[in-house]
Amino acid sequence: CFLNWESNEMRLALIQMDSKVGEIDRNVDTAMGMIDQAASDGASMILLPEYWSTGFFPGLRDYKLYDLAAPDDGPAMSAIKTKAHEHRIHIVSTIYEREGSDLYYDTAMLVNDEGRIIGKYRKTHLFDTEKNYFDRGDLPLSVFDIGSARIGVMICFDWRFPESARTLSLAGADLIAHPSNLVLPHCPQAIITRCLENRIFVITANRVGIEERISGNPLHFIGQSQVVDP
Ligand code: ACM
């Protein structure tokens, strides 16, 4: 997708993938192949879905999955940093982040074209069973300037609260990157409203696929990744 505003422009790719719970090596391989493809198609910025490396493990209600968490130099983020540097692109990647020995966050990181993390945001509005796994985000909704754009980040269920996009808009965002694992049907429409009311772009990368749960009710992820203009 090609975005153009004021005198700036950006070629953008959204990755929409199916991830398998706990199969980090396989999910990383899949995503890195897609990043290579998007970069060779000319993307200068890439957004991955939430949970791209771990799968949506909170849906399983299995309390033994804390070991999927990793620090920001673990295998998934190391692969992202290497690709960002190799292709000279910006990447927004969300991981199950462990800080120290006992803090766990749903964290989106903006990696620059030198492979360095230049922004972090930890999800504020935890969805349903996510509260079993994550501490509530301790970093404010923030905007990071990459030269061609001022990028705000919110994560999945943050969409449900108009204050998230408004806060980022008031902080000067041109564009909100919105990594997601959406199951509710309303988000794609609601994002259009968020863009209209705030005069911003929002890009949502969502996953696809189905995840079985112990409770029997499988989760169906709705895909529908989208780019919406102001
Ligand atoms: C969600 O916030 N992952 C639905």
What's the pLDDT tens digit per position in 6-62? Answer: 667 899 999 999 999 999 999 999 999 999 999 999 999 999 999 999 999 887 766
Rg (CA), the chain: 16
The pLDDT-based confidence of 216 (bands split at 50, 70, 90) is: confident
Count how many residues are written for the chain: 230
**Stretch 150-178: mean pLDDT:** 97
| pLDDT value, residue 66 | 86
Is pLDDT above 90 for 179? yes
The pLDDT-based confidence of 121 (bands split at 50, 70, 90) is: very high
Is pLDDT above 90 for 73? yes
Mean pLDDT, rounded, of the chain: 94
The pLDDT-based confidence of 163 (bands split at 50, 70, 90) is: very high
Nearest residue (CA) to ligand 1, atom 2: 157
Would residue 123 show up in a list of annotated catalytic residues for this protein? Answer: yes
Would residue 1 show up in a list of annotated catalytic residues for this protein? Answer: no
- Please tell me the chain's helix, strand, coil percentages from 3-state DSSP, rounded to the nearest 5: 30, 30, 40
Q: Is the CB of 50 under 6 A from ligand 1?
A: yes
Q: Is the CB of 57 under 6 A from ligand 1?
A: no
C-alpha–C-alpha distance, residues 211 and 216, integer Å: 10
**Stretch 100-122: mean pLDDT:** 97
Would residue 50 show up in a list of annotated catalytic residues for this protein? Answer: yes
**Stretch 161-181: mean pLDDT:** 98
Beta strands (DSSP E) in 102-180 are 103-111, 117-122, 143-145, 150-153, 175-179
Query: Residue 215 Cα, ligand 1 centroid: separation in angstroms?
Result: 18
Nearest Cα neighbor of 136 from 151, 149, 123, 150 is 123
Alpha carbon distance, N-terminus to C-terminus of the chain = 15
Contacts of 204 (CB under 8 A, 6+ apart): 14, 159, 178, 179, 180, 182, 187, 188, 191, 224, 225, 226, 228
C-alpha–C-alpha distance, residues 10 and 205, integer Å: 16
Q: Which of 57-61, 71-75, 165-169, 180-184 shows the lowest per-residue confidence on average (mean pLDDT)?
A: 57-61
**4, 31, 35, 38, 76 from 28: Cα distances, Å:** 31, 5, 10, 15, 6
Query: Residue 90 Cα, ligand 1 centroid: separation in angstroms?
Result: 23
From 19, 123, 153, 181, the mutation candidate for ligand 1 (largest count of ligand atoms within 8 A of CB) is 181
HSE-CB of 96 using CA atoms within 13 angstroms? 23
C-alpha–C-alpha distance, residues 95 and 107, integer Å: 6
Q: Is the CB of 157 under 6 A from ligand 1?
A: yes
Amino acid, single-letter form, for residue 14: L
Q: What is the pTM of this model?
A: 0.95
* Choice between 129 and 47, residue whose per-residue pLDDT is larger: 47
